[in-house]
Structure 1
Amino acid sequence: MNWVPLNSKQIRAVSYDPETQVLHAKFAGRSSVRHVGVPPHIYDNLVETSDPEFYYKYYLEPSRIESGWQKANLSSHAVKLLIILIGVLAITATALEENGELPIHLSEITETGAISPAPTASPAVSPH
């Protein structure tokens, strides 16, 4: 990997592979950071600019991929899944009747598993 030094206090050097469009950036006092999908002109502009820190923060930092990134991504998915599960449980709980039973009674389910129409109360007929 060929590192190109930058005129910056924070970003020491960058390395770029045009075939895979992967850029690595070395920082002062930190490990290197990898970026994927970086077009060649972005790398060229970063190397040629008079303010590499500004250019990096504006064009590259939002696409940063680090080793800890995947863990944070997985945990955020787990939190979202938990929120969805709580929502489904809340909706199910509101579907329960006040006495804690489902609004569909077992007697309404036919032998085929289909729900039969609820029996309607027949009007009272006078014996006349």
Structure 2
Amino acid sequence: MNWVPLNSKRIRAVSYDPETQVLHAKFAGGRAVRHAGVLPHIYDNLIETSDPEFYYKYYLEPLRIQAGWRQKASLSSHTVKLLIFFIGALVITATALEENGELPIHLSEIAKSGTIAPTSGEKSAVSPQ
């Protein structure tokens, strides 16, 4: 296997077999990665580019993702989603408050009549029976 050094701090060298279309990449720290199905022009562009890390990130890293594979959501991602939900609920509640800090629908009016009474200045759309 012939390794071609790259002008990169992260990716040290790459090797390519055009018959099998397999590319091997060595990273700083000794980690190596194998990519299958790499077309020859992608390898040529990788070794000729002035920014191999950028090219690798956008043209080769996506090839490592298998079809139908999904990463499990971490606890922190669930926490962020829950936090966004609560902030949204608070914003909706805050926008529903009147200027004096009260909700436009008064719970005491609902409890007395069983229906929502119109607020001041509004006419009832449904007449009570």
TM-score (norm 2): 0.50
Q: Is the 8 A contact 1:21 1:36 kept in 2?
A: yes
Is the counterpart of residue 14 in structure 1 residue 2 in structure 2? no
Paired amino acid for 2:5: P
Q: State, as a whole percentage, how many aligned pairs show the same letter.
A: 83
Paired amino acid for 2:13: A
The equivalent of 1:114 in structure 2 is none
Distance 2:42 2:9 in 1: 20
Which blocks of at least 5 consecutive residues in structure 1 are unaligned? Answer: 77-128
Q: In angstroms, what is the RMSD of aligned CA positions?
A: 2.2
Aligned residue pairs, count: 70
Distance 1:41 1:62 in 2: 16
The equivalent of 2:105 in structure 1 is none
Which blocks of at least 5 consecutive residues in structure 2 are unaligned? Answer: 73-129
Distance 1:23 1:39 in 2: 9
Distance 2:55 2:9 in 1: 14
Q: Is the 8 A contact 1:33 1:64 kept in 2?
A: no
Post-superposition offset of 1:63? 1.2
Q: Is the 8 A contact 1:22 1:34 kept in 2?
A: yes
